[in-house]
Amino acid sequence: MKRIALSGLALAAALAAGAGGYWAGGRGIAMPDALELFGGRSMAAEATVQRSGPVIYHRAPDGRPIYSAAPRRTDDGREFVAVLASEDVSFDRTAPASAADSAAPAGSEAAATRRILYYRNPMGLADTSPVPKKDSMGMDYVAVYEGEDTGGSIVRVAAGRLQQTGVRTEIAVRQPVVRPVLVPGTVQLDERRIAVVATRSDAFVEEIANVTTGDRVTAGQSLVRLYSQEIAAAAAQYLTELKIDTGSARLGGARQRLENLGVPPRMIAEIERTRISPLTVTWTAPRDGVVLERNAVEGMKAATGDVLFRLADIGTVWVLADVPEYELGSIAIGARATVRVRSQAGTSFEGRVALIYPEVGAETRTTRVRIEIPNPDGVLLPNMYAEVEIASGGEEPVVTVSDSAVIDTGTRQVVILDRGEGRFEPREVTIGRRGRGMAEIRDGVNEGDRVVVSANFLIDAESNLKAALSTMAAPEKAR
């Protein structure tokens, strides 16, 4: 019979002091029901359990946590209730054996199917015997059979107890562990997609297309028509050279002057075709985009270098996220990022980390991370506030279990393995990365192992108690 009396520790202490009476409650100290606390039977449920086995100890008749190693009475004359072996806590949750079975010699019929290893003190004391015997109070020593004394901390739980405690298990799987880093950010224009329309000589604005700030334009669309004396003179010189046809060298020089002044190739080709020098030049949009600025006004004089229009292609935008300094080690170039903006509730935008800026803000202790986001519909606008979620961790699959499967004591981490048939084994593990409710197991658990993810702390508490009692009741070496 595999049974470890929980009350043995306290009763042994009482006997050593010569008390033979109260255990803790002798002074009126209220104690919780230890049997119920460690998964044993509660007092209310004992009426339905068949009582068998030797008397382990005596308990107060009114259910108070007052115990006695010998029969006794209360102050008002009521007798203490005898607690039999079947009513005490058992880690294997198996049906209790009878008193005859517990004391049967190795050659009897009751022990024919199993070999008795040794006999253990019924009070849980560090005292064993290779043969049946009784203790000083006349209680039989408990037989320990082969296969019951594993020397480890495997705990057995009956199927009914598993349902009552809500134990759930899952299989350890191999998958990447991704931990999201949540940071704020802002939408910015891609600096490589901004263009301006400016003159390279003094000019007068003759006409402006019907384009205003915020309008979308396409590459080659007319924006403004200018008159520039310098451009007109260069065009007349080029036309003269074309008519004279004095050589490709001089023709190349005149054409180069027009190109240096920013005259579009289309207009130069028109001069060559018509042999007419135009009085005005039409400036077109250099790329598709949105008009960010319109500074041109009809009739105005634009000096060399003045910006007439400022355009930006918003097909791709940047999101600049402020990442705390302590999170920088978990973010890498190319990491996936999800961006959400307030104006697009329920919609997310996917991108990749393109750059981690090489500077930490002295005041905020954050570093900017640049994320490139495709924006084909143009719904992401410059200076929008964004909520950024950057995936950190590795892409390589690792052995993982649910976070709830890990019991973290502060100094060690423990996972309860399900060995089947109601057997559970605590296993100390090494934890790696965590993320999205999963924890990486670097050592202690293999892929495919079944682990407890619910009510595991109850099993861990029982296994720790069993390990302590097993250490105290270890078999003595033969003398």
Question: What are the tens digits of pLDDT across the range 346-375?
Answer: 889 999 999 999 999 999 999 999 999 999
Question: For 384-421, what is each residue's pLDDT tens digit?
Answer: 999 999 988 767 888 889 888 888 877 888 888 888 87
Range of the domain at 285: 200-305
What are the φ and ψ backbone dihedral angles of 281, each rounded to 5 degrees?
-125, 135
Same domain (yes/no): 291, 318:
no
Question: For 92-109, what is each residue's pLDDT tens digit?
Answer: 434 344 334 444 444 444
Instruction: Output the six-digit token pair for 318.
Output: 């940047």
Question: What is the amino acid identity at position 203?
Answer: A
Same domain (yes/no): 169, 184:
no
Instruction: Output the six-digit token pair for 80.
Output: 């203490």
Question: For 304-343, what is each residue's pLDDT tens digit?
Answer: 989 999 999 999 999 999 999 988 888 889 888 999 998 8
Q: How far is CA 15 from CA 123, 247, 473, in A?
A: 10, 124, 17
Same domain (yes/no): 143, 34:
yes
Summary count for the chain: helices (H), strands (E):
8, 29
* Domain end among 305, 337, 368: 305
**Position 476 confidence tier, pLDDT thresholds 50, 70, 90:** very low
The rounded distance, in Å, linking the Cα atoms of 179 and 438 is: 9
Range in 79-93, 203-217, 341-355 with the lowest mean pLDDT = 79-93
Same domain (yes/no): 134, 245:
no
**Position 465 confidence tier, pLDDT thresholds 50, 70, 90:** low
Residue 478 is assigned to a structural domain of this protein: no
Q: How many domains is the chain built from?
A: 4
The rounded distance, in Å, linking the Cα atoms of 197 and 285 is: 7
Nearest to 319 by CA among 376, 381, 271: 381
Exposed e or buried b per residue across 408-421, where buried means at least 16 C-beta atoms within 10 angstroms of its C-beta: eeeeebbbbbbeee
Same domain (yes/no): 425, 373:
no
Question: Is 50 exceeded by the pLDDT of residue 440?
Answer: yes
Q: How far is CA 336 from CA 246, 326, 333, 390, in A?
A: 62, 19, 9, 6
Range in 34-48, 254-268, 269-283, 303-317 with the lowest mean pLDDT = 34-48
Question: For 146-204, what is each residue's pLDDT tens digit?
Answer: 655 545 566 766 666 666 677 888 899 998 887 888 999 999 999 999 999 998 989 99
Question: For 141-154, what is each residue's pLDDT tens digit?
Answer: 877 776 555 455 66
Residue 111 is assigned to a structural domain of this protein: yes
| Torsion sign over Cα 216, 222, 224, 229 | positive
Q: How far is CA 446 from the centre of its chain?
A: 19
Same domain (yes/no): 121, 46:
yes
* Domain end among 256, 273, 305: 305
CATH code of the domain covering residue 439: 2.40.420.20
Residue 2 is assigned to a structural domain of this protein: no
Residue 1 is assigned to a structural domain of this protein: no
Same domain (yes/no): 65, 20:
yes
Residue 41 is assigned to a structural domain of this protein: yes
Residue 81 is assigned to a structural domain of this protein: yes
Question: Is 80 exceeded by the pLDDT of residue 113?
Answer: no
Region class of 10: left (phi > 0), else alpha (psi between -120 and 50), else beta = alpha
Same domain (yes/no): 168, 42:
no
What confidence score (pLDDT) does residue 25 get? Answer: 37
Same domain (yes/no): 374, 456:
no
Residue 464 is assigned to a structural domain of this protein: yes
Same domain (yes/no): 21, 88:
yes
CATH code of the domain covering residue 365: 2.40.30.170
**Position 38 confidence tier, pLDDT thresholds 50, 70, 90:** very low
Q: Which residue has the higher pLDDT, 223 or 110?
A: 223
What average pLDDT does the segment 230-251 reach?
74
What confidence score (pLDDT) does residue 215 get? Answer: 92
Same domain (yes/no): 219, 321:
no
* Domain end among 281, 305, 329: 305
Same domain (yes/no): 328, 404:
no
